[in-house]
Amino acid sequence: MNPTPFPEHLDQILSQSVREATSLESALQREGAALASRDLDELNAAVADKQVRVQALEALTRQQTELLQREGYETNAHGMDRVLRDWDEDGVLRPVWERLVEVMSHCHRLNQVNGGVVETSRRRVDQALHILRGEEARTELYDPHGRAFSASSSRPITKA
């Protein structure tokens, strides 16, 4: 049995990556909607789906890396440009690759937005806890190693 030729094998990996990335994009959109509506069940389902999609994309990326290395190409954007110049005479691979880059870029932006929402919520909860504990506003400082820590003075809630 002959192995799948390089361009067909790469097309299969890229096409599957686009499908997984599109599913990841949907999971991130669901995650954002669940965060906005504070729907914990939907949030848990979206996060679980997101984890599955990320793992699948990681596996596909490993396959793509191995394939490119086996053929003597760099495993970065420059390497993919060379692959497309060398192997994509019919213009079949480039649109798939560009779609993958586009979807993954959108996923990155969605993940940043969702992370910002989570961080804002975490800060609000942290602030509420400080108020309940009777602590004054926290001042964020840095130790000699550049790690952030918060300094605060506190007084019991009964004295607030």
Per-residue b/e over 30-64, b at no fewer than 16 CB within 10 Å? bbbebbeeeeeeebeebbebbeebeebbeebeebb
Residue 48: inside a domain: yes
Residue 155: inside a domain: no
pLDDT surpassing 60 at residue 151: no
Residue 84: inside a domain: yes
CATH number, domain of 39, equals 1.20.58.300
Domain count, the chain: 1
pLDDT tens profile 65-94: 999 999 999 999 999 999 999 999 999 999
Residue 158: inside a domain: no
Residue 153: inside a domain: no
pLDDT surpassing 80 at residue 106: yes
Q: Return the pLDDT at 154.
A: 47
Range of the domain at 49: 6-133
